[in-house]
Structures are given as C-alpha cells and as structure tokens.
Structure 1
C-alpha cells in the first residue's frame, strides 16, 4: 500500500516509520495487526480516540501521552477501521465489533484489568465495554462521549458525512471541533487530511456512518439509565460547555445515574478538551487516576 507523508509519495514502510509519528508498536488483536503507542509505567490506562475522519491514536493523544506517562502506563491504540491498524475487508463496523477488537487488544497485551480515557466515540466504547466486562475495568474518564441517546447534531452530521477529502474541507471540518479555531494548526490539518485520504481507510470511513442510519447508530451506542445505575466503579465525565457535536448535558445525564461519578465542565471549550485546555485536562486525569 502506498502512503503520502507531508505531501510526498512514500517509498516504503521503513521510510514511513521514520517520518510518520502515528506508527508505533503492533500486536495482533482479533486477527488484525493493531497499531498502538505505549508510554510510562504503573497503572495501565488505555486511551480511546474518537470517530472523526482521519483520526488516530496519535492525532488524538500525541500531546497528552507524555504528560500522563509521568504518572501511569498509558496505551493508545488505533481502533479497527482507523489509523494504522490493519483493515478487515469483511468488517461490519458496529459497537459489538469495536468492543470485541478492544477486548482482543487488552488480552493480547496480557492486561487483566485496565482503566480508560475515552474521547467522544471512545467514551461510548468505554461505557459499552464496561457494561459487558465490568470485572476488567477499574476507572473510566469520558471526554464528550455520546454515551446517552440524543438527536444527531448538525455538527456531528457534518463530521460523519465527510467525503471527497481535500485539505480545505478538512480544515473547515476541524473548526467545528474547537471553540477557538485558531488553535487548528496547518500540520494537524495536513496529518488528518492525509490519514483520511488513504486508500481503503477512506472507503471504510464513508461506509461507517450512512446518513439514513446515523440516528440508529447513535441510539445503539447510548446506554439506558438502568444500565448506568449498574456501574459500581469510579467515573469522571469531562465536557466542553461550547461543544456543538455532543451536547454537554449528555455527560451530566449519565453521571446522575452512576453513584460513584463526577463531572467537570470547561467553559470556552468545544469538543477537544485535550487540545483546547490540555493542562487542565491532564491535571484532572492525573488527580482522578491517582485516587486510591
């Protein structure tokens, strides 16, 4: 497979590994060569990325991992259908598929019990995983996760409807993620654009969220009040008050049902707390995961 790095045609995998920070280690999970990054020592915390076009573990967590790795072992994987993880040509992308891939990844690393930080879709994945495998989960932090049912927002429609990639379209799309679009750098736009335009992965993304099924997909991801009330572990919900993709009251609704939970809301902040308010975000996570 050919790739484009910084606008240039790559000559092969070796050159790509030298220039592309998205490539980390690899392990087989559910039969797929799964790309991941692994930093630090101590309590294992798995970072789960979102579902936007061109997303990857590194794009979401690259600037956050070094800070968290000073305190914990942090592991960020490219979920099936994203990043540098091997594509499954027969994949039926739904929540059970992603939960199975995540379970396979955790087992492949020999981890008995883990904590999660889930960004957006990654938060919904964490809640669904916790529902099925509560004995495998310690603490969970959810950032702007679509964990309850709500009406698909215009911004989410725009993100899931991304097709016919161009750098200009990627920049336009990324402005809806942030309260202050000036934080969107040219390098981030280019990284996400090139990732979204890779052969195979572009087609996979375009097939994940068809317009006629988006509300049904979101409804399937969301948990009921009764399901949330069954959770007995510790939860932290973080949400930007200016998020136009997932309304902040989704986090509040979920937290109300979980006995051992807390919510932190960030003003002048959209869907990307880990980018827009990185220092406060990291401090909140370090405090939460350091508690006894």
Structure 2
C-alpha cells in the first residue's frame, strides 16, 4: 500500500501500528497533527479529510490513518474493537517516532481523541473535537441509521442526506462512490461487527467518564454544526463545560460534515487554533491512573 503503487487516492502509506497494518496519509512538514476519522459506512481517512488536508499540510505534518476495520487498514478476524483503536493511534505515533502531536477527531474519532488525551496526555499538545461523541447522550435516529446501514445505493443516498445540511453537496455521484466503498470485500462484515443493535451501548462505550474529561489539561477547540442530525449539539456544549481550557465554535446551516460543508473556514479555524501561542499552556508529563 504505497502511494506510488496505486492510483486510488484513498491508499497511501502502510505501517504496522500496535500490531495493525495501517493505511495512512502523510502530508506536509512541521509539527504533527493526527486526524482521526468518523465511523460512517465506506469511510476512510481520505474520504473524511480530503477537503482540508491540503490546507492543513501547508502549516503542519498531517497524519490521517484508516482506523482498524475502516478504509484500507487491516481488518483482523474476531478483532476486539474499542480500546484497540486508541492503541492503534498511539502505535502510529510510536512507529513514526512522533513524541507529541495535535489531535483532530471527527465524531467517532472525537471519542477516540478524547480517550487518547485522557490515557496518554503527554502525547497530546492540543485537541480539536468536531461533531464529537465521547460524552453520554441518547442515541439519535441519525446515528442509529448510520451504524445500522445495510448496503444499497438508496440507503447510502439517504445517509448522505442525514449527514449534510446542504443537500447540494450530496449528489448521486458521491453516493455511488461511498456505496461502492461500502461493498468492497470484507468492509460491510467488519462494519456490521462494530456497532450491532442495540446501539445505545456503543454510544456509552465510546464515552469517557466525566471526571476524566474534566481533568483534561489541554487547550481544546470544540466544533459542531448547529443542524447536526447525527450527534447532538448538546454534546459540544457539555464538552465545553467540562473541559476547562476549551472554546466552542458552532457553524450555522451545517450538519454533521463541518469539514466538508465549511471546509475552508474549518481549516482556517483549526490552523489558527493550533498556531496560537499560550505561554502558560501545561505540558502533561504522566498519564492519570486508569
């Protein structure tokens, strides 16, 4: 899986991260920022982050892996999802000899970024959470539809309508591409194994304890779409209340795809946030007790 051996833009570099053969994108130079994608069917790091990676890579070294079971990373049989995703993200940093990185997590990836910051605070400089899970909430009809996806073009078209506020962004061509990605061999099997019904338990499993979130010392940017039908805006408000060093940015006329619906504005917001100087910003040295 090298960039030179494939014409598929979703396939980039390959490296073993915590025992998982991981497909990852590596663009730009400078301080590292790790992008963790969401959990929609047929998703990959490239599909999730393609509108913003070039802009971010002008200022940073951008790392965007396919998490285990998604995209073109390994999908081991009988794989225990959950904590292994956090271990994979840390393993990628280890494999690339990166001591500390900024984290940007989207939805499901926000929950993983939160958990990583709690368990390995010394590996994180700043944190960006976009449309994030990671706190308790009642399963929405939109998220239930995403995790309960059964492959068909019509089902994928319906999901894209849920994701975006602007229906002009979700044409049949995009739906067809995402549908084809969702029916590659092994993809639906691994996806169905991640979030089987009843699905409220997976919302709960991705949540970190309130007391741990309140102890997060990192400067944190929380971003949410006001019209998000997948993850409630209340999540962002909760996170901004619990994380002391946080700021909240809400995009109006925006659904769950902030990085796509407002790509240029989102990229600028993140670049400016990561570039800010904060002389009293703490450097976590040790992980809290588990």
User: TM-score, with normalisation over the residues of structure 1?
Assistant: 0.91
Which of residues 22, 35, 50 in structure 1 aligns to 2:38?
A: 50
Deviation at 1:63, TM superposition (A): 1.7
Question: Any stretches of 5+ residues in structure 1 without a counterpart?
Answer: 1-12
Instruction: Give the distance between the partners of 1:103 and 1:88, measured in 2 at CA.
Output: 18
In the alignment, is residue 80 of structure 1 matched against residue 65 of structure 2? no
**Could you say what the CA RMSD is over the residues aligned between the two structures, in angstroms?**
1.6
In the alignment, is residue 34 of structure 1 matched against residue 22 of structure 2? yes
Report the number of matched residues.
Answer: 277
In the alignment, is residue 270 of structure 1 matched against residue 255 of structure 2? yes
Deviation at 1:185, TM superposition (A): 3.5
Cα 1:15–1:266 shift into 2, 3 Å: closer
Deviation at 1:82, TM superposition (A): 0.4
Which of residues 179, 182, 192 in structure 1 aligns to 2:178?
A: 192
Deviation at 1:17, TM superposition (A): 4.8
Deviation string 1:250-270 (CA, Å, 9 cap, x unpaired) is 011111111110000010000
Q: Pairwise mapping of residues 132-143 of structure 1 onto structure 2 (< 5 A)?
A: 132-143=119-130
Q: Pairwise mapping of residues 1-292 of structure 1 onto structure 2 (< 5 A)?
A: 17-94=5-82, 96-163=83-150, 165-212=151-198, 214-292=199-277
Q: Secondary structure at the match of 1:19?
A: coil
Deviation string 1:190-222 (CA, Å, 9 cap, x unpaired) is 33112210111210101111112x111111211
CA contact (8 A) 1:147 1:251 kept: no
Instruction: Give the distance between the partners of 1:105 and 1:31, measured in 2 at CA.
Output: 10
Deviation string 1:73-125 (CA, Å, 9 cap, x unpaired) is 1110000000000111130112x111111111111111111111111000000
Instruction: Give the distance between the partners of 1:112 and 1:125, measured in 2 at CA.
Output: 18
Deviation string 1:116-147 (CA, Å, 9 cap, x unpaired) is 11110000000011110001111010100012
Cα 1:257–1:157 shift into 2, 3 Å: same
Question: Any stretches of 5+ residues in structure 2 without a counterpart?
Answer: 278-290
